[in-house]
Amino acid sequence: MEKIEKVDKMNKVDKVDKVDEVSKIDKIEKIDNIFVEGRAVFSLEVFPPKKDGPIEKIYAALKELRELNPDFISVTYGAGGNPADSTTVDIASFVQAELGVPAVAHLTCVNSTRADVGQYLVRLRERGVLNILALRGDVSPEGERKWDFPYAVDLIRFIREQDGDFHLSAACYPEGHVEAPSPAEDLRRLLAKTEAGAGHLISQLFFDNAIFFDFVRRARAIGVTARIEAGIMPVLNVRQIQRMVSLCGASIPSALAKIMSRWEHDPQALRRAGVAYAAAQIADLLANGAEGIHLYTMNDAAVAREIAALLPARAAKDGGSAR
Ligand code: FAD
């Protein structure tokens, strides 16, 4: 039987049996295979419940999200992530096993050692989750900073060395990452992530499509060939968006700023306007050739449904219509 390398608690690399996984892997959709010419990918993102929160709520939301026929669903990894917490793996496994939808498990590395990540990979493999969004994560007071992986590129290289069966995705930033000295330098670092093995990119949220298209053009110009999905977050709560924008540096175009100030104190009206803005943004992205749309659902299936209802029907992967 073939052997794979496994990093144990003492950070020793061990050879373990690769339990007849090869046959299984063929059946698991890898994100690269989801992209076909002339058809935009549509994916959804959910987050695990807050600590000690009920897990059933997210499972109920996921069942509703399944109705939108996403190409895959990604599951975030908690800020200050604790590698011993298996909630992300549990939810990703549910998405695949119970809903029959390919899952992408996010994984951050700022708070992890090589041994932590090695064990996490074993757990993912055991549950048949072979798509990982490999991230550095934000340095936060919630978790102790570890230095085995200073950047996402180090995590990508490590996973590649450990187990070539995993498909790796990475994050990208149309307006540059907030810590980067310049958008150009951030792009060079993005290129390094793809050269290290990230075959697919999901963008940070943005509200101005011109910025995204310019970013894709610049990324292609320096040699980034990985598929790039556009990350879209509907504006439903002004405070929440302001907090996010202050963290990630996304700019707010004046049309959206006006919507936010006009209906800041009218949640129903803001929700309708936010859904309409997100749908219009997506329609424009699709009309102009975006390869994929990644909707940050905030676990709100009703909002995702409302946005999808305003969009033209998608072509199915094998021809026909997906809904
Ligand atoms: P990196 O690619 O490592 O980049 C981080 C910074 O370091 C950038 O400024 C970059 O320019 C710089 N850099 C990179 N390489 C080098 C180098 N060699 N030398 C010097 N500087 C370098 N966070 C979570 O906690 N959980 C999640 O589930 C999660 N999901 C996300 C999903 C998406 C689609 C996105 C866009 C973000 C997500 N985040 C998540 C947030 C993410 O962890 C933060 O944005 C984090 O600050 C950067 O992560 P990264 O993987 O992009 O880091």
**Tens digit of pLDDT per residue, the chain (323 long)?**
344 444 433 333 343 344 344 334 445 678 988 998 889 999 999 999 987 788 999 999 999 999 999 999 999 998 766 777 889 999 999 999 999 999 999 999 999 999 999 999 999 999 999 999 999 999 888 788 999 999 999 999 999 999 899 999 999 999 999 999 999 999 999 999 999 999 999 999 999 999 999 999 999 999 999 999 999 999 999 999 999 999 999 999 999 999 999 999 999 999 999 999 999 999 999 999 999 999 999 999 999 999 999 999 887 666 555 55
pLDDT of residue 66: 98
Name residues whose C-beta falls within 8 Å of residue 244's C-beta, 6 or more positions apart in sequence.
205, 233, 250
Tokens of 1: 């039987």
Is 137 near ligand 1, meaning CB less than 6 Å away? yes
- Strands 13-17, 198-205: pairing kind: unpaired
Q: Is residue 307 situated within a structural domain?
A: no
- Strands 131-135, 227-232: pairing kind: unpaired
Task: Count the neighbouring beta carbons within 10 Å of the beta carbon of residue 226.
Answer: 23
Q: Is residue 284 situated within a structural domain?
A: no
Is 205 near ligand 1, meaning CB less than 6 Å away? no
Q: Which residues pair with 17 in a beta bridge?
A: 3
Is 194 near ligand 1, meaning CB less than 6 Å away? no
- Strands 198-205, 167-172: pairing kind: parallel
Residue nearest atom 38 in ligand 1 by C-alpha distance: 171
Domain count, the chain: 1
Tokens of 83: 């590698």
How far is residue 186's CA from residue 174's CA, in Å, rounded to a whole number? 10
HSE, side-chain direction, 13 A CA sphere, residue 96: 25
Residue nearest atom 39 in ligand 1 by C-alpha distance: 137
Which of the listed residues 50, 91, 177, 296 should we mutate to test ligand 1's pocket, taking the one with most ligand atoms within 8 A of CB? 177
Distance 153 CA to ligand 1 centre (A): 9
Is 125 near ligand 1, meaning CB less than 6 Å away? no
pLDDT of residue 176: 98
pLDDT of residue 28: 66
Q: Is residue 62 situated within a structural domain?
A: yes
Q: Is residue 249 situated within a structural domain?
A: no
Distance 308 CA to ligand 1 centre (A): 28
How far is residue 156's CA from residue 177's CA, in Å, rounded to a whole number? 18
Q: Is 10 exposed, middle or buried (0-12, 13-18, 19+ CB in 10 A)?
A: exposed
pLDDT of residue 85: 83
* Single-letter code of the amino acid located at 174: P
Distance 320 CA to ligand 1 centre (A): 37
Q: Is residue 106 situated within a structural domain?
A: yes
How far is residue 133's CA from residue 34's CA, in Å, rounded to a whole number? 15
pLDDT of residue 321: 53
Q: Whose CA is closest to 290, among 211, 233, 235, 198?
A: 211
Length of the chain: 323
Long-range contacts, stretch 90-93, CB < 8 angstroms, 24+ apart: 90/55, 90/127, 91/46, 91/48, 91/55, 91/58, 91/59, 91/62, 92/124, 92/127, 92/129, 93/127, 93/128, 93/129
Q: Which domain holds residue 130?
A: 3-8+20-232+290-299
Please pick, among 2, 5, 29, 45, the residue that the annotation labels catalytic.
Answer: 45
Is 200 near ligand 1, meaning CB less than 6 Å away? no
Name residues whose C-beta falls within 8 Å of residue 106's C-beta, 6 or more positions apart in sequence.
74, 75, 76, 77, 88, 132, 133, 135
Distance 190 CA to ligand 1 centre (A): 10
How far is residue 95's CA from residue 63's CA, in Å, rounded to a whole number? 9
Is 5 annotated as catalytic? no
The overall longest dimension of the chain from CA atoms, in Å, is: 64
Is 189 near ligand 1, meaning CB less than 6 Å away? yes
Q: Which residues of 163-274 form beta strands (DSSP E)?
A: 167-172, 198-205, 227-232
Q: Is residue 221 situated within a structural domain?
A: yes
Atom number of ligand 1 nearest to Cα 80: 25
Q: Is residue 111 situated within a structural domain?
A: yes
Is 171 near ligand 1, meaning CB less than 6 Å away? yes
Which CATH number goes with the domain that contains 68?
A: 3.20.20.220
pLDDT of residue 33: 87
Atom number of ligand 1 nearest to Cα 81: 25
Distance 93 CA to ligand 1 centre (A): 24
Distance 180 CA to ligand 1 centre (A): 10
Q: Is residue 48 situated within a structural domain?
A: yes
